[in-house]
């Protein structure tokens, strides 16, 4: 629900309750329920009474908040700061000298750090993959020492538990080596590393209020920084939009004992979309027998709002294809552009190069061209056979999808990717936008096309079955729950309708 210039938005009674609240508070907000509007009106009401921090989940959300402030002529409020946890940490730790910075640890870097074997590619891959995941898990945790973290707790038999147990000492040594080298700035540091260093410094922020958005996807380290402040705290989120468990995110709302309010009226989704959303959320009953779908309420926009319908009808309709995986999205883009020829121009949400990149740091084009010896330099993989073998024995979704993509297009794939890149334009000029659910979070389109790589109810029923009749593990339940949430996030980007591809 966008803010209008100098016009107070029409607020629901639930939004008004949040704005008028006193003391610590947590808010459960369904998709498109105007939580940002409520938080900004909360801040506006307290202008001049003290200093306030709006803690955004990431830079994209921070920029969106600043845009809404500009639209409402509120960007000159001297007592309101909009930051991310990472931006706070970075400025605090690196006031003078800025160390070399990388977005994430690549598997190729880990392979080079520890001289992992080229001949035993599967073992090298698993060592590098679990070293990275172990390191990330510690950086996201509240533990003060690496030895305090039990990495095995995050694993299941399907996720390599037995392998990690056999190699735990080596993995722990490698994680400690990486953390120490980053601390001494001997190797480039990651964003999660410096946020962890910030949390270990026990920071104290001079704010009277702190608003914490997207609380369902906060990492333990973010929540720890937030909860250790003396300010009045307001945390907002939606447990059904928790989709960063793979980055150790936790639902912070369930980890706080604040008084609770709800935002249940969607300004975005019509009845057809909210009905589909309720159907998907109801699948959680298969995973958690005590789950009650009646506790989930999402009121469609047509129930209470037909504002601006005439204005909206005169605007160009927007469309998006949303996929679960990067490679699933790439395949659909190729099919729509060059096979079915449904569209002539496309946009990708975020940096297109990221869609072509795997965790090892290499791109799809590089991997397809591995027969070219010049392209092997400093790559994780030595030949295509290694990739096929590792994909067959590992649970890596992206590797399996890559093998499928190459089998379909063969040596023509690099040329298709180049042609695809030439058709990319800005979103407002494109026929359609392509995005994953993660990159599309917080955005909306009139029509959403769902790729077929999301979880289905049939898959969930199969996943919860066991030969012994015993319940599946807690980690497995959380993984399935997150897959349901990812589909929920994707379909609730739609303002008008959802179509399945």
Question: Is 33 assigned to a binding site?
Answer: yes
Do residues 427 and 439 lie in contact, with contact meaning Cβ atoms separated by under 8 Å?
Answer: no
| DSSP string computed for 59-104 | HHHHHHHHHHHHHTT-TT-TTEEEEEHHHHHHHHH-SS-PPPEESS
CA 76 to chain centre: 31
CA 32 to chain centre: 17
Q: How far apart are CA 256 and CA 238, in angstroms?
A: 14
Do residues 487 and 437 lie in contact, with contact meaning Cβ atoms separated by under 8 Å?
Answer: yes
Burial 432-464 (b: 16+ CB within 10 A, else e): bbbbbbbbbbbbbbbbbbbbebbbeeeebeebe
Question: Is 34 assigned to a binding site?
Answer: yes
Q: How far apart are CA 211 and CA 215, in angstroms?
A: 10
Question: Is 31 assigned to a binding site?
Answer: yes
Question: Is 119 assigned to a binding site?
Answer: no
Do residues 237 and 253 lie in contact, with contact meaning Cβ atoms separated by under 8 Å?
Answer: yes
Question: Is 32 assigned to a binding site?
Answer: yes
What values do phi and psi take at 251, rounded to 5? Answer: -80, 100
Strand partners, 80: 52
Question: Is 479 assigned to a binding site?
Answer: no
Question: Is 277 assigned to a binding site?
Answer: no
Q: How far apart are CA 43 and CA 123, in angstroms?
A: 53
Do residues 99 and 74 lie in contact, with contact meaning Cβ atoms separated by under 8 Å?
Answer: no
Checking 70-74 for CB contacts under 8 A at 24+ apart, the result is 71/2, 71/3, 71/4, 71/5, 72/3, 72/4, 72/5, 72/6, 72/40, 73/5, 73/6, 74/40, 74/44
Q: How far apart are CA 185 and CA 203, in angstroms?
A: 21
* CA dihedral of residues 272, 274, 279, 280 (deg, nearest 10): 120
HEC secondary structure over 314-352: CCCCCEEEEECCHHHHHHHHHHHHHHCCCCCCEEECCCH
Which DSSP letter does residue 129 get?
H
Q: Which residues are annotated as a binding site for ATP?
A: 29-36
Annotated binding residues: 29-36
């Amino acid at each position: 629900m966008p803010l209008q210039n100098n016009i107070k938005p029409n607020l629901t009674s639930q939004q008004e309750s949040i704005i008028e609240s006193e003391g610590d508070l947590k808010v459960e907000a369904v998709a498109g329920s105007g939580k940002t509007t409520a938080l900004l009106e909360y801040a506006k009401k307290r202008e001049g009474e003290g200093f306030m921090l709006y803690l955004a989940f990431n830079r994209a959300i921070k920029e969106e908040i600043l845009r809404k402030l500009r639209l409402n002529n509120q960007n000159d409020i001297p007592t309101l700061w909009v930051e991310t946890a990472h931006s706070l940490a970075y400025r605090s730790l690196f006031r003078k000298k800025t160390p070399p910075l990388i977005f994430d640890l690549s598997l190729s870097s880990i392979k080079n750090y520890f001289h992992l074997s080229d001949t035993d590619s599967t073992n090298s891959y698993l060592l590098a993959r679990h070293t990275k995941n172990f390191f990330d898990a510690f950086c996201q945790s509240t533990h003060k020492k690496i030895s305090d973290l039990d990495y095995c707790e995050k694993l299941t038999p399907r996720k390599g538990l037995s392998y990690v147990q056999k190699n735990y000492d080596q993995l722990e040594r490698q994680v400690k080596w990486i953390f120490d080298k980053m601390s001494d700035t001997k190797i480039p540091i990651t964003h999660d590393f410096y946020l962890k260093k910030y949390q270990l410094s026990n920071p104290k922020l001079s704010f009277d209020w702190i608003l914490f958005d997207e609380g369902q996807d906060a990492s333990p380290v973010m929540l720890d920084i937030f909860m250790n402040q003396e300010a009045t705290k307001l945390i907002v989120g939606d447990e059904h939009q928790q989709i960063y468990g793979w980055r150790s995110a936790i639902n912070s709302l369930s980890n706080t004992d604040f008084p609770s309010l709800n935002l249940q009226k969607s300004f975005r989704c019509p009845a057809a979309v909210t009905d589909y959303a309720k159907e998907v959320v109801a699948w959680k009953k298969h995973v958690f027998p005590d789950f009650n779908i009646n506790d989930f309420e999402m009121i469609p926009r047509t129930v209470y709002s037909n504002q601006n319908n005439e204005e909206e009808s005169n605007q160009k309709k927007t469309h998006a294809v949303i996929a679960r995986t990067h490679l699933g999205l790439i395949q659909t883009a190729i099919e729509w552009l060059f096979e079915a020829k449904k569209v002539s121009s496309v946009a990708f949400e975020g940096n297109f190069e990221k869609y072509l990149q795997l965790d090892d740091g290499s791109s799809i084009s590089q991997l397809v061209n591995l027969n070219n010896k010049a392209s092997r330099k400093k790559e994780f993989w030595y030949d295509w056979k290694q990739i096929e073998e590792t994909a067959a024995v590992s649970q890596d979704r992206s590797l399996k999808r890559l093998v499928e993509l190459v089998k379909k297009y063969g040596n023509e794939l690099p040329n298709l990717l180049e042609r695809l890149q030439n058709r990319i334009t800005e979103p407002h000029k494109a026929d359609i936008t392509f995005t994953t659910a993660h990159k599309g979070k917080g955005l909306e389109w009139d029509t959403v096309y769902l790729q077929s790589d999301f979880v289905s109810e049939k898959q969930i029923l199969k996943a919860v079955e066991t030969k012994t009749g015993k319940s599946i593990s807690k980690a497995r339940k959380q993984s399935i729950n997150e897959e349901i949430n990812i589909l929920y996030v994707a379909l609730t980007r739609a303002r008008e309708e959802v179509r399945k591809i």
